[in-house]
Amino acid sequence: MTKKTLFLNGWYFTKQPLGSTLEDIKERKEAFRAVNLPHDWLIYQGKELYEDSTGWYRKVFSCEKKQDYRYEIYFEGVYMDTTVYLNGQVLGEWKYGYSSFFFDMTPLLQEGDNELLVRVNYQAPNSRWYSGAGIYRNVYLRKQPKCHFITDSLYITPKKKSEDMWQVEVSAELSQECLNQENSILMVQILDREGTEVSKAELPFEKAVNQADGIVTAQIMTQVSNPELWNLEEPYLYHCRLVLKDENKVLDETKERFGFRIFTFDTDKGFFLNGVHVKLNGVCEHHDFGALGAVFNKEAMRRKLEILRKMGVNSIRSTHNMPAIGLLELADEMGFLIIDEAFDMWERPKTTYDYARFFPQWYRKDVRSWVRRDRNHPCILFWSIGNEIYDTHADARGQELTRSLMEETRKHDPAYHAQITIGSNYMPWENAQKCADIVKYAGYNYGEKYYDQHHREHPDWFMYGSETASTVQSRGVYHFPYKQSVLADEDEQCSALGNSTTSWGAKSSEMCILTERDREFSMGQFLWTGFDYIGEPTPYHTRNSYFGQIDTAGFEKDSFFLYRGAWTDAKKAPFVHVFPYWNFNPGQLVDVRVASNGAFVELLLNDRSIGEYQIDHEKGTVLTGNWQVPYEPGELTAIAYDENHQEIARESRHSYGEPVKLVMELYQPEKKFTAGNYDLAYVTISAVDAQGYTVEDANQYVEVSVKGAGWLTGLDNGDSTDTDEYKGYCRRMFNGKLLAIVAIGEHKGSIQVKAAAGGLQPAELTIVVSKEISIEGTSFIPEVFANKSGKDAPAWVRRIELTANDGNVFSPDKKQLSVTARIEPQEAMNWIKPEDLIWKTVNDAGIESPLAKVTDVSGFTAKIEAYGDGQFRLRCMTRNGTDIVKVISQLEFQAQGLGEANLNPYGFIAGGMYTYAEGDVGNGNEHGVSTARDGRTVVGFDHVDFGSFGSDRITLPVFELGGEECPIEIWEGIPGKPDSEMLARVIYHKPSIWNVYQEESYKLNRRIKGVTQISFVLHQKIHLKGFSFAPLQKAYEKLYASENDAVYGDTFTVVGREVTGIGNNVTLEYHDMDFGVEGCKSVTICGRTHNDKDAIHISFQEGEQETRQLVEIAGTADGEYQQLTFPLQCVKGSKTVRFIFMPGSNFDFNWVQFHKM
């Protein structure tokens, strides 16, 4: 009978240069070190998470090779491009990093010791997110009799036959050697969760087994009366045991869990599970576990699912690859639906070294492995054959591949255990719609605005949001005000208020909720994402993503509670959540929000009621309570009430002082920990002040030590800007929290965890490991990290308290005000200097404001001068000795009676400063603006002061996502409005670099002058960081005659750009002609004389001093314009230049241009 054991022990690892060979490694055996599997070698180098390298794994194992057995090694997941060697020979290779594979070792296996080597090539970029590298999922050894069930061939299909009777059809493939077992019997048993037999059937070999196309298949069926159904609330699981036996001797058996459930889909009413309507409240999840990297750990996944369940999540999309088996097992047990996804690319790559290199030759093998491994899990709702696949958009080849992938998937799931889908962000376009029409189960990535139209146009499509949201947020970071949408800011964090949105994503979490709630035909949505993950740190170039409702450490962000309010039942689990924390500048206006699943919420400050909101979760559009509250110290309390106005939940936030001691809290303290089972303990470390209030922005370095029956396996704080090692003993708290992950070892006992931080009372915690089990093939080698101490780390500034010394209103009589900063904690004053503070005046979006400037800083006091009317904010910031702003403090100010302040185009005008918009305009990276992916977008900027001379040379920093040609119209004024004019239609075309702006400069048809409005018109999606104009040196530009500052004399006529018919004593003046310190050497005049020649005096005057130089222009026989250049004695400095025409002149003047020395 087949024996399956873990094969995780006795492995050694070495990282070598990319491309190292078997011959190379034979000479480097001393480089190997013992490791536990699963293993991700990149997570141990937090500052080089994408380093090119080849990883080698080595295991020597002893085998008593038996003649009647075969030996199979099964890899659940190795990332990526893997070659396996046994005893110096190639056993097999596998390219994709996410699909499982197995090889028959028997032909190369030898009696006694055997050497297994696994080569893994990691070459970046090969993924859009952090993939990890190595043998990151389980490895198994299967010892099988010659007659055996083929691995992953068991197929269990329950079918409802009547109201109380289900038929279970079971099949599996057998090895060719089984054809010799004609006298054997095939038996199937169905066992309930307690192991009690509820059904059994037997068939003789000749009736149960058939052979076709070289495949031996055993088939049998049985019936179960009134089975318990698998659903989300009671996910009841049965076991199916398939046995091949001969005279009561078991030849082989295979066994899997399954469930009885019915999926029903309706194009108008959505999805039904066992006849009950279910809205998919889903999240997308990548495969890393923060500080654990890509290593799969079942207890880590269990914690993830438990946190998501608390939020109200009922479904997971395994983005964008096959998940670990453990996720599916937990989803089966806990009652989650799964979109089991295979690929992020097909033949057309998204990164240089991704799986597209191998797809054409390998996808059939991968689909076979994927579907056969997963098809019996009742949790699987859809097989997703791809995500945002460009092939489906590019041409008809995408439709061919869609059909081929569907065919391959159905080949291995012919009973439709799950439907086939695809998630697409190309749904507005024809080719992608053709692919959607093939699969019918159409997943929309950020396509909510097309739902209604496409539902009308494609009434046979089953629609859902395969990716929604893409709002971004950093836990505990708040960029005020809430009404202002802000994508990026100087601290490289995203606001958790709910006002940080990407250009392609939803405008808010509430919009995601309302869109799905009000469209019955949509099956539901999958938020991008549930947890943050390593990689894709839009909109910055930091380490982790910001998309999650939960950070990489597993700490909830405030958006978590917005969805919880919509997705959970107040009658079962009432809650209320108030944010932000309560510790700001005196008098600062603070946006306060309250989320709840209750019917009413009330806000209190120091026991005074601030107000109440009614929340209608079924039909209303206001899903939270929202107030602006001037800060005062004390207690902020939110209360939730039911429909009868009875209190059901309460939460308070309190202002706080300096931290005095650390506190540790064990996740699920009631849990009984087990040794020998890869169990984990999660410990949250925080700090409290002298009154016991949590210090919610504490940022001290914390040293963690673990002794006893376990070891420290990682530290995480969820901060994307923190590049300290995950695998270390010391890390900072981020906004008051740090997570320590403790690995439970091989033997029971106790574990002592201690946390210490400079100047704070340490914390200690004991974890009792009360149970011990022994599992063959496991490995428990304690990890040892480079010993980094935080004892000598300087105390970071935690808070900057700002006080407006003279009020916060500017007027003509009070154009200057002062503000003083006070630094907390006091210990930070040991190193911080006034010049370490960054003072800046900004608008609500955090963009530098033209209304005021900081004119002087003396010590920790700044003077601000206002120049124009409006509201702005004064910011005081510090980088805490790093390259990134770590603390932002701000106060609101208002200026009135000072007049209009204009924008300066010769500096830089950020895209986010736009004042006029048409079309779907959103936040761009780095305070830019984004345009719509389809349709027309206009973005306009008012009060741009080009000065009297102006400029015609513009520079545009653009991030264009696809590397395609992008036409941009540049207008003065608003297109279609009176006096507007298109100044240029330019083409931006550069190879796209993700999240990187690239500049291009253009020349307009003419110069723009004075205070005016400039607009940009686009018909495709770009991010425009902003624009700047080159300041022109008037003295050296081509100056048309009509652009003079004064013209006078007897006779002349201004015609367009020319001055013609210049007669007696005519003078043209040009003011503010600054020739600089180098001066000019010559002048070119374009014109014509109708005389034999005309003499022109060129006068250069500065104050009372004047010099003149004479030039003569001769007539031509054809009377055409001439461009003549004349040398000049050097002219320097700022002059008024006059062209003085002598009596008898008859000259047509077109333009003039001076030339530098």
Please report the pLDDT score of residue 607 as a whole number: 97
**Is 133 inside any structural domain?**
yes
**pLDDT exceeds 90 at position 447:** yes
Strands 380-387 and 337-341: parallel
Please report the pLDDT score of residue 363 as a whole number: 98
247 and 267, same domain (yes or no): no
Please report the pLDDT score of residue 791 as a whole number: 65
Please report the pLDDT score of residue 634 as a whole number: 97
- Omega before 320 within 30 of 0, i.e. cis: yes
**Is 239 inside any structural domain?**
yes
667 and 760, same domain (yes or no): yes
- Percent of the chain exceeding pLDDT 70 equals 100
Q: How does pLDDT run across 220-269, given as a tens digit for each residue?
A: 999 999 999 999 999 999 999 999 999 879 999 999 999 999 999 999 99
Average pLDDT, the chain: 96
Please report the pLDDT score of residue 253 as a whole number: 97
Element of type H or E holding 652: strand 647-654
**Is 564 inside any structural domain?**
no
**Token code pair at residue 108:** 């190369």
Instruction: Provide the domain limits for residue 745.
Output: 659-772
Could you say which of 388, 536, 703, 827 is catalytic?
388
Q: How does pLDDT run across 333-351, given as a tens digit for each residue?
A: 999 999 999 999 999 999 9
pLDDT band at 994 (very low <50, low <70, confident <90, very high): confident
Do residues 135 and 57 make contact, with C-beta atoms less than 8 angstroms apart? yes
- Percent of the chain exceeding pLDDT 90 equals 95
Do residues 335 and 235 make contact, with C-beta atoms less than 8 angstroms apart? yes
Calculate mean pLDDT across residues 936-948.
96
**pLDDT exceeds 90 at position 782:** yes
991 and 943, same domain (yes or no): yes
**pLDDT exceeds 80 at position 788:** no
877 and 935, same domain (yes or no): no
Number of domains in the chain: 8
Q: How does pLDDT run across 285-337, given as a tens digit for each residue?
A: 999 999 999 999 999 999 999 999 999 999 999 999 999 999 999 999 999 99
388 given a catalytic annotation: yes
- DSSP helix/strand/coil, 371: helix
Q: Where a domain ends, among 1029, 1047, 1072?
A: 1029
Give the span between the Cα atoms of 338 and 381, in whole angstroms. 6
**Is 588 inside any structural domain?**
yes
pTM, two decimal places: 0.93
Q: How does pLDDT run across 561-595, given as a tens digit for each residue?
A: 999 999 999 999 999 999 999 999 999 999 999 99
CATH number, position 419: 3.20.20.80
1068: which residues sit within 8 A by CB, 6+ positions away?
1041, 1044, 1046, 1047, 1059, 1138, 1139, 1149
Calculate mean pLDDT across residues 989-1010.
93
CATH number, position 650: 2.60.40.10
Among residues 230, 233, 143, 158, which one has the least CA distance to residue 190? 158
Span of 94-98, 841-845, 991-995, 1027-1031 with lowest mean pLDDT? 991-995
Q: Where a domain ends, among 895, 923, 948?
A: 895
Strands 1067-1074 and 673-675: unpaired
- DSSP helix/strand/coil, 901: coil
1015 and 1042, same domain (yes or no): no
Please report the pLDDT score of residue 810 as a whole number: 96
Q: How does pLDDT run across 828-837, given as a tens digit for each residue?
A: 998 999 999 9
399 and 540, same domain (yes or no): yes
Please report the pLDDT score of residue 703 as a whole number: 96
760 and 824, same domain (yes or no): no
Could you say which of 408, 467, 1037, 1058 is catalytic?
467
Calculate mean pLDDT across residues 1061-1086.
95
Calculate mean pLDDT across residues 686-690.
98
Q: Where a domain ends, among 638, 654, 670?
A: 654
Element of type H or E holding 311: helix 298-311
Q: How far apart, in Å, do the first and last CA atoms of the chain sit?
A: 94
467 given a catalytic annotation: yes
* Cβ-count burial 257-279 (b if 16+ within 10 Å, e if not): bbbbbbbeeeeeebbebeeeebb
Q: How does pLDDT run across 146-202, given as a tens digit for each residue?
A: 999 999 999 999 999 999 999 999 999 999 999 999 899 999 999 999 999 999 999
293: which residues sit within 8 A by CB, 6+ positions away?
40, 42, 43, 130, 132, 136, 534, 726
Give the span between the Cα atoms of 954 and 1037, in whole angstroms. 16
**Is 431 inside any structural domain?**
yes
297 and 419, same domain (yes or no): yes
Cα angle value 742/743/747 (rounded, 5°): 125
583 and 724, same domain (yes or no): no
**Token code pair at residue 514:** 């309302």
386 and 532, same domain (yes or no): yes
**Is 608 inside any structural domain?**
yes
pLDDT band at 939 (very low <50, low <70, confident <90, very high): very high
**Is 498 inside any structural domain?**
no
1069 and 1138, same domain (yes or no): yes
CATH number, position 1084: 2.60.120.260
239 and 163, same domain (yes or no): yes
Q: How does pLDDT run across 449-499, given as a tens digit for each residue?
A: 999 999 999 999 999 999 999 999 999 999 999 999 999 999 999 999 999
**Is 1053 inside any structural domain?**
yes
